[in-house]
Amino acid sequence: MRIKLVAAVKDPKVLLMQMKNDPDVIPKGSTTYVETLLFMMQGAYGAPDLYAIRVWDERDEKAVLVHLGHGLRNQEEDVVETGEKDRLLYKLQNLGYQPVGEFTVSEWKYRWREFFGDIITVEGLGTFIRIYREFPGEDSNVFAERQRKAFEFLRRFGIKKEDLLPYDVRGLIVVMLLQQMEQQAQQGQGQQ
């Protein structure tokens, strides 16, 4: 059973300050990297499939290829391989994956009780907070209680139920970019 709640953040500086001052929140570090998202509408399992190529130091172009999963709602981060960015990009494009954008991403990771989380800032798109954890078992009452606890944590920082997003951060980016592409295609057809 997997719990993951994601919400857009209105004021990231205030949220970060509040979290750093919260004695229940354990900071786990921060990092910044350039991420190229690659997407295929019909992946191996007939569902959308998403990969990211992440580069921490653009001078040496060493990159990590991360499989984010099948579908847009819940991304898992499984490192597939490391290597030169251009080689990894070429490899995925040969398999039919299309680049959807390149973004600078900053993450501040934390731990709260049995949950993990992060505050993710995607340059030009916004800042998001996530809280997540995978638990063994499938008891719906236990799931509901744990999900309530995760939401109560977010509520401490001003996040309301209506602020929760239906997609994970990268899934949201792909949905936004696909909508833009569709609008551009419709505008192109309307001009003909």
Tell me the per-residue pLDDT of 143-155, one tens digit each, with 9 for 90 and over. 889 899 999 999 9
Q: Are 9 and 163 in contact (CB under 8 A)?
A: no
Q: Are 134 and 126 in contact (CB under 8 A)?
A: no
Helices (H), ranges, 49-132: 85-94
CATH topology of domain 2-176: Hypothetical Protein Pfu-838710-001 (2.40.320)
C-alpha closest to that of 68 among 177, 182, 173: 173
Confidence tier at 73 by pLDDT (50, 70, 90): low
Residue ranges of domains in the chain: 2-176
Predicted TM-score (pTM) of the model is 0.82
Residue 133 pairs with which residues in a beta bridge? Answer: 3
Q: Are 120 and 130 in contact (CB under 8 A)?
A: yes
Confidence tier at 192 by pLDDT (50, 70, 90): low
For the chain, the distance separating the N- and C-terminal CA atoms, rounded to the nearest angstrom, is 50
- Output the pLDDT for position 171: 77
pLDDT in tens, 21-55: 999 999 999 999 898 887 776 655 666 778 888 89
Q: Are 159 and 122 in contact (CB under 8 A)?
A: no
Confidence tier at 18 by pLDDT (50, 70, 90): very high
